[in-house]
Structure 1
Amino acid sequence: MSFGQGGPDSGWDPWKPQSQQQSWSGGGDAPDWAALAEASEARAKRRRLLFICGGALATVAVAAAVAVAVVSADGTGSASDQPSSQLPSTAGLPSATATAPSFAPTSAPPPLDPKDFIASAKKDTAPLGPDVLFPGTQLTMNETVYKKGPTADTRTCSGAAQQSLPPLLTANGCTRMIRVTYTKGDIAVTVGVAVFDTEAQATATKSQADTKSNIRSLSGGGVDPFCTGQICRSTTNSYGRYAYFTLAGFTSGKDVTEQDTAVFRAGDDLARFTFDQIHRRGQAQASAAATR
């Protein structure tokens, strides 16, 4: 062994910490420091390149893992790779409304019919009288004002009727007769409302009446007698358990002719008002029953 010589097999690497550097003294060639520096720089470049490539590969791997996780969470990863023949048919797919809550069908009850409450005495229990059916001191129909005159209310229906009407009222079971007179100038109209227990009785009275089935005119309280022997115009009708009549004429005692359109119009106005009042009676009771 020679000391002071450094050869290829000396075992020392300036970049290896565990290698031992031999001392140089005296003769022999000096180390090539430039070559050693170039080798060191080359190794440093290789390490940086490896580090950069490793970081890029790691980034790609993380991105791929995140993409796989997103696809898996969405539930479409496996199905999107399958051919269409392997997907469930339309019938096999879950319905969009399969899990929707269902509710029992509901519907509002039909409104109560006002006529049901005036068709029989059992349901028609509201107060009744001349001032109930014919309130106030006057009424206006089609811009025509009629003044209210005397009223009457009797349980003996035949006494408030004349000619062929009394036996019809008795036979069909009339229980009450309400009368009121309205005037306009020298025209007077008496309205009579016959009350029955059932709609069938009132309808029968209407159908059996003839041109001589009239009520008695009602005078007094400033209204002169009328239609006591003169020709007058009369009407007959029924609604629910009520039959209603009108008798219209002149307080002057003049006969009514076909040319006296004002008398016809007055009788029609009062007949219409009576119908409306009976219908309102049914409406009020139907409304009250609906809120109970």
Structure 2
Amino acid sequence: MGLFGFGKKKAKDDAVVDDEVKADDELAEDTEPEGGESVDGIVVLPEPSAFYEGRGETRGPWDVNDEDVPDYDDYLDLGAYYLPFLKGIELRIKANRSSKQILGATITYGSSSLEIEAFAAPKSMGLWDEVRADLLEANSTASEAEGVFGTELKLPVHVKGGRTVTTRIVGVDGPRWMLRGIFSGKAAVDADADETEALNRFFADIVVERGEEPLAPRDLIPMHPPVSPAERKAAKAKAEGEEGENADDKHLKNIPDQPKGPFDQDQQTEVKTTLSRGPMFSEIR
């Protein structure tokens, strides 16, 4: 089942428990339809068919404060999250047409793409189950599927030219944030494809920085224009030389045109092309 082997049991010692769970699932098949059911207009979700366990311990997406967070000094800094290196990818930035505020990023790799958005979430609970229920309620063609990131959604989307493409939507809850990924192309339909494995790993290697700014649940975490590792290191060295403090800060505090406050994800957007520096991203013309 792809990168992390979800769908397989994690230990032989759990075999007895797993058999009991399987038996319970078989008994529940007649009463729990796939993709949830609507009762008085409210979607009732079935129990997730798989769980994404180990985030922050053995796998990501990561939080900057996780004990085992990977070294992200060479990642591309977008404010809300840091993007890892993957040779051969292209990066597009989604921005508000009028304010030019950045709302998200899309990675293209081969015939596949991955749209990435980071949302603020409540302190006491995750956000993905709630978002998943809303998507199921709003889209009658959406369905649940077991994937490498736990319970994922399959959602057909109509595009220009009358075509319909299938997207794979995943959500991972972190401390006070949720990272959502929308996969399309081969990475949405072929679990064993090389592109799928590469983008799954790319998504899992992202490092999220929620920040301390008060944000309502579902607000997009503020982003800024891409800052390369070289630019970040140069700014850090300059700050150390001028002020002699904040030497351990990995994240720039004075980004040009850095927006303040939460974003509205419903705003009209345009896609901007970002030129890369060095081997981090291939150049788009």
Give the TM-score normalised by structure 2.
0.32
Higher strand fraction: Structure 1 or Structure 2? 2
Higher helix fraction: Structure 1 or Structure 2? 1
Structure with higher RCO (Cα < 8 A, 6+ apart): 2
**Greater gyration radius:** 1
